[in-house]
Amino acid sequence: MLQPETDSVIIAAILNGQTGRYTELVGRHQRYVFTLAMRFTKNREEAEEVAQDCFVKAYRALGTFKQDSKFSTWLYSITYTTAMTYLRKKKLDTQSIDEDGGFIQLENHISSYTANGSMEKQSGYHYLNKAISLLSPDDNMIVTLFYQGEQSLDEIGQTMNMTANTIKVKLHRARIRLKEKLQGILKDEVNEMI
């Protein structure tokens, strides 16, 4: 069976003039970048804009990518910086909202029903997504990169410009906060049902 080409091979081809092959890199990483963007923007349209911006920035700077880390790690660090800039701009444009009080419902957050997935399971993810969206941007990023981006503590450290130890401590605190938020949400749901 034909092995898929690595990111490094595709990058080398792009730098040699086959710029059209950037489509392959976009296709490979778009879901990860888009998910991260969604975590920050909490809105599909804005997340698409941020994610597209990240890919354009990565393309512009592709010649400077030293390949001493994974392309995904480098791309996520661009995503993190772009998303943080987006949040700062948004903060200037709007009034500050209390983290817990300013919960914004994620649009179409449950992507689709899996073939054998149950309603129960999907609603479990729905509440989990809700809880993650209530975390601070940094906690949100760490949890998403660790579980969905499949990044190691070292790689997350590179992305967020922190040491692996700091990330380990932050991840632990983020998970505790996530558990608390989840318990809070579920408690509210039960109270509403009663």
Please answer whether residues 130 and 183 qualify as being in contact, where contact means their C-beta atoms are separated by less than 8 angstroms: no
- Rounded to an integer, what distance in angstroms lies between the CA atom of residue 40 and that of residue 133? 8
Provide the minimum distance between the beta carbon of 119 and other proteins in the complex, in angstroms, as a whole number.
15
Residue 117 parent element (H or E): none
* Cβ proximity to other proteins, 102 vs 124, nearer residue: 124
Please answer whether residues 111 and 47 qualify as being in contact, where contact means their C-beta atoms are separated by less than 8 angstroms: no
Q: Contact residues for other proteins (CB under 8 A)?
A: 14-15, 17, 19-20, 22-23, 26-27, 30-32, 34-35, 38, 44, 47-48, 51-52, 55-56, 59-64, 109, 111-112, 114, 124-125, 128-129, 143, 147-148, 172, 175-176, 178-179, 182
Provide the minimum distance between the beta carbon of 120 and other proteins in the complex, in angstroms, as a whole number.
12
* Cβ proximity to other proteins, 95 vs 116, nearer residue: 116
Provide the minimum distance between the beta carbon of 105 and other proteins in the complex, in angstroms, as a whole number.
15
Please answer whether residues 15 and 116 qualify as being in contact, where contact means their C-beta atoms are separated by less than 8 angstroms: no
- Under DSSP, is residue 194 helix (H, G, I), strand (E, B) or coil? coil
Residue 162 φ/ψ, nearest 5 degrees:
-135, 165
* Cβ proximity to other proteins, 91 vs 169, nearer residue: 169
Provide the minimum distance between the beta carbon of 98 and other proteins in the complex, in angstroms, as a whole number.
25
